[in-house]
Amino acid sequence: MSTSDEEPPAARVPATGAESSAVSAADRPPAPPPRPRGGKVRTAVRGFGEVLITLGLVLLLFVVYELYVTNWKSGRLQNEASAQLEQEWRSAPQGDRELHVDPADGQAFARMYIPTFGVDWSFTVQEGVGPDALEIGPGHYKNTEMPGQPGNVGIAGHRVGKGAPFNDLDLLNSCDPVVIETGDSFYVYRVLPMRDEVDGWADGKGRQQRCANVAPLQDKQHAYDETFGRRIVLPDRGDAVAPVPYKARNPLPKASQASLLTLTTCHPQFSDAERMIIHGVLTNQYKKSEGTGYDDLLAEIGEA
């Protein structure tokens, strides 16, 4: 190997005895003449091939990085943020757990749950949608409302890598709950009817108990004519998180705005050509009390 990596290894026949080895030596076909070495073209071609193979391996490694390593990193960051938020809430006096009106960039200020993705699905929500905030978990669009308020709470999250909190967002159906926990309250939002469910909602899915407070917004306000449970839009539709979605110029006074939650992620998966938008409407809110938590809430809203 030290002088060449291309000479075929010398043919060996297992020696079972003196006789057989003598026979095999005679029968062995003559070793092929050593191939000419050192041709510049050969070297170049082989080098080129090795470079291609190497690039392929690097690409595979990148996939591993993107799908696993970023998840480990984000998982660690998420755990830290979660522990810190927990401690913040625990240390604040009960009466003083008002939501931070203006949390700092990248600071976790709420927790979100989507029971449809499993009871253990929970992430802290950070302020801002910059890369640093989103690496920790879902991020809150800074210019949008805080949870529970009339208007629109916009939250963005990764769909691939970095914990991929919104990996399964396409699996959400109408009436599926999205719970936001703040220092003092749980806010239960439920996904709005899909576009094709709007007609006949009241006599169809709208009769289910879990859809009790969910109705097409179009019925009440024409301003919401484009707001459905799920939409796929182009990335420049910043108005998806406007107080009245898809109305860049706000047509309604705050008091008559619906309390909405809007989740955004990339679409299709592994691409940034479009965005998937999920709209939900506030259906219940519960003041937190000592000794009760998310599990009790799930039972309360019938999702346990």
Interface residues with another protein (CB under 8 A) are 1-6, 46-47, 50-51, 54, 58, 61-62, 65-66, 69-70, 129, 131, 134, 139, 141, 156-162, 166, 233, 235-241, 264-266, 269-273, 275, 277
What residue has token string 């929500």? 125
Measured from the CB atom, the residue of 146 and 240 that comes closer to another protein is: 240
Catalytic residue among 158, 175, 267, 279: 158
Measured from the CB atom, the residue of 70 and 284 that comes closer to another protein is: 70
Residue 288 C-alpha from the chain's centroid: 27
What residue has token string 């030596």? 25
Measured from the CB atom, the residue of 242 and 301 that comes closer to another protein is: 242
How many Cα atoms within 13 Å fall on the side-chain side of residue 22? 3
Closest approach, Cβ 152 to another protein, in A, equals 12
Closest approach, Cβ 129 to another protein, in A, equals 4
Nearest alpha-carbon partner for 186 in 102, 279, 285: 285
Catalytic residue among 140, 175, 211, 266: 266
Closest approach, Cβ 266 to another protein, in A, equals 5
Dist. CA 36–CA 43, nearest whole Å: 12
Say whether 158 is catalytic.
Answer: yes
Measured from the CB atom, the residue of 51 and 202 that comes closer to another protein is: 51
Number of helices followed by number of strands (H, E) in the chain:
5, 9
Dist. CA 287–CA 182, nearest whole Å: 10
Look at phi and psi of residue 142 and say left if phi exceeds 0, alpha if psi is from -120 to 50, else beta. Answer: alpha
Measured from the CB atom, the residue of 190 and 237 that comes closer to another protein is: 237
Say whether 279 is catalytic.
Answer: no
What tokens appear for 237 in the block?
């539709």
Closest approach, Cβ 69 to another protein, in A, equals 6
Q: Which amino acid is at 78?
A: Q
Look at phi and psi of residue 179 and say left if phi exceeds 0, alpha if psi is from -120 to 50, else beta. Answer: beta
How many Cα atoms within 13 Å fall on the side-chain side of residue 230? 16
Q: Which amino acid is at 67?
A: L
Dist. CA 182–CA 232, nearest whole Å: 29
Burial 37-55, CB ≥16 within 10 A → b, else e: eeeeeeeeeeeeeeeeeee
Measured from the CB atom, the residue of 274 and 303 that comes closer to another protein is: 274
Segments in the chain forming alpha helices (H)? 18-27, 40-64, 70-91, 131-136, 294-300
Residues involved in catalysis: 158, 266
